[in-house]
């Protein structure tokens, strides 16, 4: 019988206490894991999608909304801007690259984006099958769209008006035909349907009967030519045109600080849960020590050293917290996978199969809590007076 076996059997002897303590630690660690891998993924996605985009120009309104709709494809756009204004801005010498976006339709919740080849270059998109669109009503779909809607090159479908599924009926008339499927890129483009802008105009032109000189797009993604543009261009757009300019970096940071309050609250909640778990482990060991003093004294009579008893008690704390934190980490991943599964916006889907080095710190924290909670009972076991304990019976 080694100390580990003795500690383990002693824990099993009080199985409900064991269960309660493991549960408390697992919940604390679980929430921390969930927050850790959740926020890391959200942060990665925010940064990944905004890579290479210095400025978004769109209709006046909330800058955050403009960023959300044009980069992350989650919120509704702020409105439309005229193609003429957009083209004029795109010709500005400070602009290195300007990518036009025209939103308005979806297919089962996947947004149909009217754009041009500059979008492909911006995101460095590659095809896994087929070729890029050339004519109207030809589309290239993201890998997730192809997988989930089981679309192949050559398939056709009718998009619906609006940006979320089931908002309005499908467009009638000319169907869209898939000419290519993109390689998975790990960003929002996996969930997009790309086509040229005139396809979007055609669909809505037929419906609304608009004139050509009133053609509009939703927004413009801009890459600066120089650092100078960073200061001048947003000011110019906001002051001298009817459009607004929003910086993805600034708005993402603002968005993250908004989420941050919630995350921080949850973090403190989880940390206090861990703290309570630590106290619970301490109280359990401390209380059980009173009834086990005689057991421990007998172990000493059988020849166990003081250090052996110390080790047995410390191990009980460590076993409890390491099982708890290991379960907690599994629980955290599992919960995030479930959250991801039921998530509404496919653009920002979170995955439970995402691992970080930092999770080892959670295990380490669990171990430290186990040691801290059991050190006082262990010292008491170490210092117990065998003769006195046995005399008392």
Q: Which range binds other proteins by CB under 8 A, 4-12, 53-61, 172-180, 249-257?
A: 4-12
Query: Does 15 engage in binding with other proteins (CB under 8 A)?
Result: no
Region binding other proteins by CB under 8 A among candidate stretches 10-18, 120-128, 192-200, 263-271: 10-18
Question: 209: Cβ–Cβ under 8 A, 6 or more apart, which residues?
Answer: none
Beta bridge partners of 107: 110
Cβ(180)–Cβ(154) below 8 Å: no
Among 50, 98, 293, 299, binds other proteins (CB under 8 A): 299
261 binds other proteins (CB under 8 A): no
What would the two tokens of residue 251 be?
């708005």
Q: Which of 308, 330, 345, 349 binds other proteins (CB under 8 A)?
A: 308
Report, in Å, the least distance between residue 306 CB and other proteins.
6
Q: Per CB under 8 A, does 304 bind other proteins?
A: yes
Under a CB-based contact definition with an 8 Å cutoff, are residues 377 and 286 in contact? yes
* 391 contributes a contact to other proteins by CB under 8 A: yes
* Residue-level length of the chain: 393
Select the residue interacting with other proteins from 20, 266, 371, 390 (CB under 8 A).
390
302 binds other proteins (CB under 8 A): yes
The residue (of 6 and 83) whose beta carbon lies closer to other proteins is 6
Listing DSSP states for 316-361 in one string gives: HHHHHHHHHHHHHHHHHHHHHHHHHHH-S-GGG---S----TTHHH
Question: In the complex with other proteins, which residue's Cβ is closer, 171 or 300?
Answer: 300
Residue that has been written with the tokens 């053609």 in this structure: 215
Quote the CA–CA distance of 63 and 78 in Å, as a whole number: 9
When asked if residue 382 is in the footprint of other proteins (CB under 8 A), the reply is no
Give me the least distance between CB of 284 and other proteins, in Å please.
14
Residue 218 or 374: the one with the smaller Cβ distance to other proteins is 374
Per rule CB under 8 A, is residue 305 in the interface with other proteins? yes
What are the residues facing 141 on neighbouring strands?
A: 181, 193
Residues 6+ apart with CB under 8 A from 114: 100, 101, 102, 103, 195, 196, 197, 198, 199, 200, 201, 217
Name the phi and psi angles at 141, rounded to 5: -110, 150
**List 257, 303, 353, 357, residue binding other proteins (CB under 8 A):** 303
By the rule CB under 8 A, 298 interacts with other proteins: yes
Assess 306 for contact with other proteins (CB under 8 A): yes
Look up tokens 């032109």; give the residue: 205
For other proteins, which stretch binds (CB under 8 A), given 54-62, 225-233, 293-301, 346-354? 293-301
Question: Which residues of this chain interact with other proteins, rule CB under 8 A?
Answer: 1-2, 6, 9-10, 12-13, 294-295, 298-308, 386-387, 390-391, 393
């Amino acid at each position: 019988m080694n100390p580990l076996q003795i500690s383990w059997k002693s824990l099993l002897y009080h199985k409900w206490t064991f269960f309660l303590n493991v549960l408390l630690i697992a919940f604390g660690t679980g929430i921390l894991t969930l927050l850790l891998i959740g926020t890391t993924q959200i942060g990665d996605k925010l940064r990944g999608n905004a890579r290479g985009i210095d400025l978004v120009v769109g209709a006046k309104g909330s800058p955050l909304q403009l960023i959300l709709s044009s980069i992350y494809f989650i919120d509704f756009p702020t409105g439309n801007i005229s193609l003429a204004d957009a083209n004029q801005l795109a010709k500005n010498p400070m602009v290195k690259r300007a990518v036009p976006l025209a939103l308005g339709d979806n297919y089962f919740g996947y947004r149909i984006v009217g754009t041009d080849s500059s979008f492909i270059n911006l995101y460095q998109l590659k095809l896994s099958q087929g070729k890029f669109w050339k004519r109207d009503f030809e589309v290239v779909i993201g890998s997730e769209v192809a997988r989930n809607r089981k679309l192949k090159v050559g398939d056709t479908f009718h998009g619906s008006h609006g940006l979320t599924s089931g908002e309005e009926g499908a467009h009638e008339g000319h169907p869209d035909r898939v000419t290519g499927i993109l390689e998975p890129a790990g960003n929002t483009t996996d969930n997009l349907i790309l086509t040229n802008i005139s396809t979007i105009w055609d669909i809505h032109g037929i419906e609304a009967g608009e004139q050509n000189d009133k053609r509009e797009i939703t927004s413009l993604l801009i890459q600066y030519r120089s650092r100078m543009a960073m200061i001048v261009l947003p000011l110019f757009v906001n002051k001298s045109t009817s459009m607004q300019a929003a910086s993805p970096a600034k708005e993402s940071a603002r968005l993250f600080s908004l989420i941050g309050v919630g995350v921080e609250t949850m973090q403190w909640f989880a940390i206090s849960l861990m703290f309570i778990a630590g106290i619970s482990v301490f109280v359990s060991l401390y209380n059980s020590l009173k009834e086990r003093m005689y057991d421990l004294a007998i172990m000493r009579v059988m020849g166990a050293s003081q250090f052996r008893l110390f080790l047995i008690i410390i191990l009980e704390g460590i076993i409890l917290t390491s099982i708890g934190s290991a379960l907690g980490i599994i629980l955290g991943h599992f919960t995030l996978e479930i959250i991801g599964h039921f998530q509404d916006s496919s653009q920002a889907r979170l995955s439970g199969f995402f691992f970080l080095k930092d999770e080892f710190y959670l295990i380490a924290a669990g171990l430290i809590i186990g040691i801290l909670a059991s050190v006082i009972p262990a010292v008491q076991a170490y210092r117990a007076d065998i003769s006195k304990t046995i005399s008392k019976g």
